[in-house]
Structure 1
Amino acid sequence: MKPMNEELAKIMDQRQMTAAYRQMMQAAVADADVQRFLQANQAQLAPDAVTRGAAKIYEFVTARDRLKAGDPLIAPGYEPQLVVSNGLIDIDYVATPEKLAADAQAAQARLITALNMPKAIKTASLETYDPRYRSDALSAALDFTMGMAKAPNEFHKGLYLTGPFGVGKTFLLGAIANDLAEQGIASTLLHYPTFAVEMKQAITDNSVLAKVDRIKKAKVLMIDDIGAEAWSAWVRDEVLGIILQYRMQEELPTLFTSNKNMQELAAFLSGSETGKADEPVKAQRIMERVRFLATEINVAGPDRRNG
């Protein structure tokens, strides 16, 4: 079967087309966008390119006008574009600026794995993060993201953000994750109390190791609300301990938030706060890894969550 545009060209040459259709073709060729294309590519086009490409020109004008009228094409997000192909006129469909922007945003979002985290982190931004009472935290966050941007494959010590409820610790993690995503760096945000519960449930289907393995190897890991989970020696040693040991050995960037400072977290991990156990040596082993991975920074200010 011969190409459709050649068949249409023959029909035009033989003057067998209707007067109305011939008029539409002539109007399409006279279109301002088409004329600009013809003038810009005159040297590359064959002498009979307009006649042989009349169907393509008409398709271009029709598709463009449909888009302007808000009528989407078969492939949403694409717009027609005239191109030169072997001296003849052809049409290509290219992504619109809106689609390119949406695709870029989607690709950026895919770099962030958020497990049981609040929706607010999706729009968190370092640019809009209020520095009042927490300028040290914002400064440290900016230093971290800039360091990651300059040397993404090197070890960068993370942040241990501590402070009371509602001061913006989790929001700052989200802002850091979004900033890293803009630079093409993937991160995983993990609500630790929920994760601890899921790990206990994972014992029944023997999936603990697989889940821990996935988390421990994250490019950048952000552990939110550590110390708020129900105390468990097993979770401490067989989950958190394994994750932090691997990340310390591999020197992988790790960040934390907690309502407890590091000294309070050590007491919690030992079990002394709950009265269930008192294992300071095991707790200190975990804390050594936390201190290696992150610098403690206090986040102050009013409760922004309930204020």
Structure 2
Amino acid sequence: MNKSIVTEFLILGFTQKPELQRALFIVFLLIYLVALLGNALIVIAIICNTTLHTPMYVFLLALAIVDIICTTSIIPKMLGTMLTTGRSISYESCMSQLFFFTWSLGAEMVLFTTMAYDRYVAICFPLRYRTMMNPHMCVALLGITMVIAVTNSWVHTGLILRLTFCGPNIIDHFFCEIPPLLSLSCSPVRINEVMVYVADITLAIGDFTLTCISYGFIIAAILRIHTAEGKRKAFSTCSSHLIVVSLYYSPVIYTYIRPASSYSFERDKVITALYTLVTPTLNPIVYSFRNKEMQTGIQKVFAFLRH
């Protein structure tokens, strides 16, 4: 049971330099708007176009929703701390932010693996794709993603709730993240560190390995394509996906694989921004907007709005 005497935390934000605050406010506001509008456009386009009701786009829809939740749980509060001197966040709100962030983190990692598997089946077993990726399989994969994400979030949030926070209450970060909260705890955090380490090995490293294996089979299949144009297009798609996936997993693994005593929050803020802010903004561009079917779906949405 939580024995904390701290009722609120103070979030220091991305930087303490006043001359950088305005510039960063504009940058993060633009990032949030691009991520929010881009992912919302994907959600609307997929829901409204029956031609996009296929496994690949259903997983893209899920990824877009996760990215909206991830950025919305972090950026609005972060922008608020840049605008005002009121940097406080209640204990309850901090725990809620932590829960939704860790949920979206787990969901995104499993979705990347699921999407890589879907592309593996589509390219390596094209004639059996509809049979292998039937509606029941899609529901099962999304269900597994949700169970893993919720379990991951409940475990970490629950373990944080068991800790005692007796002061100081200053979070040297731009949101309620696990490492800075562990550094503020007055009680032992060994169990928390072990579970973070276990989650990093199983979720981050495990999912990244499975994703790379899927793309390894995909690349092997691409090499058997006879036309140079076909190879070029397939490699272009795979390479862009792998860049985004690597950009997401590398900082996640780096952040959570270390004990709390070794964190450097000034450096870690920039690293954390890669997977909390940059990747959700890049996902719509890399996974969707370069796709002709998605472009057609988005054009139909704009055409409907004009009328």
Q: TM-score, normalised by structure 2?
A: 0.19
Higher relative contact order (CA 8 A, sep 6+): 2
Question: Which structure features the higher share of helix residues?
Answer: 2
The structure where strand makes up a greater share of residues is: 1
TM-score, normalising length from structure 1? 0.19
Larger Rg: 1 or 2? 1
